[in-house]
Amino acid sequence: MLNIAIDGPCGAGKSTIGKLVARELDITYLDTGAMYRAVALYVSERGIDVNDAESVRRLLPDIRITYAGGAQDKRIFVNGNDVSLAIREHRISKMASDISKQQSVRDFLIAMQREIASQSDVVLDGRDITSNVLPHAQFKFYLTADASERARRRHSELIAKGSDVDYDTVLRDIVDRDRNDMNRPIAPLIVTEDADVVDSTNMSIEQVVAYIVDKVRQG
């Protein structure tokens, strides 16, 4: 199976780019961050603190994540409920980052991610895909951009969706989340030696997509 792994900090454009790369190559796209968000949403809706590792671990067997829709534009469901929009709420971002520190949650989701990658040609994006989920993927990319540029992009996205969050809050959250994701003891976000680092601060989406697709086509 063709496996393309993309990691990077929040707001680097991984999902936009991952989706377009998958469309160009006519393969499946899987946003693994959405899975952590879905678990965080489910746990918080049950009134459980996402940092309460034992209670979270006990809830995991009740969670069934499924998908519907196109290969590159799937909707994500938890126990039959479409949570595709709800998981994008600003408050879920920090909860997802916090819950992703727990080994039980990671084990639960990584098993699903590896299963999907073993059955289909996929672009997987996340924080530990190149280092941990698919260390033997044929293609590995680390996508990044300056924090201020990532905050600018994320802020416009949230405003377009009707949020009234201000830029400084988004920037602060991005810096906090980077720290959280890069410094956690389990599967932190790192640049692996064999990953191709793409800094998109001064690149358009189309340029990044073309760069990745070219690399894959050249083999």
Catalog residues that contact ligand DC under the rule CB under 6 A: 10, 32-33, 36-37, 93, 96-97, 100, 126-129, 177, 181
Nearer to ligand DC, 25 or 106 (CB): 106
Contact at 8 Å (CB) between 16 and 212?
no
- Farthest CA pair distance, the chain: 50
CA-based nearest residue to 90, from 152, 159, 143 = 159
Nearer to ligand DC, 33 or 216 (CB): 33
Nearer to ligand DC, 125 or 218 (CB): 125
Q: Tell me how far, at minimum, the Cβ of 33 lies from ligand DC, in Å.
A: 2
Q: Tell me how far, at minimum, the Cβ of 10 lies from ligand DC, in Å.
A: 4
Contact at 8 Å (CB) between 28 and 121?
yes
Query: What's the DSSP call for residue 147?
Result: H
Nearer to ligand DC, 129 or 158 (CB): 129
Q: Tell me how far, at minimum, the Cβ of 85 lies from ligand DC, in Å.
A: 13
Q: Tell me how far, at minimum, the Cβ of 219 lies from ligand DC, in Å.
A: 25
HEC assignment per residue over 170-201: HHHHHHHHHHHHHHCCCCCCCCCCCCEEEECC
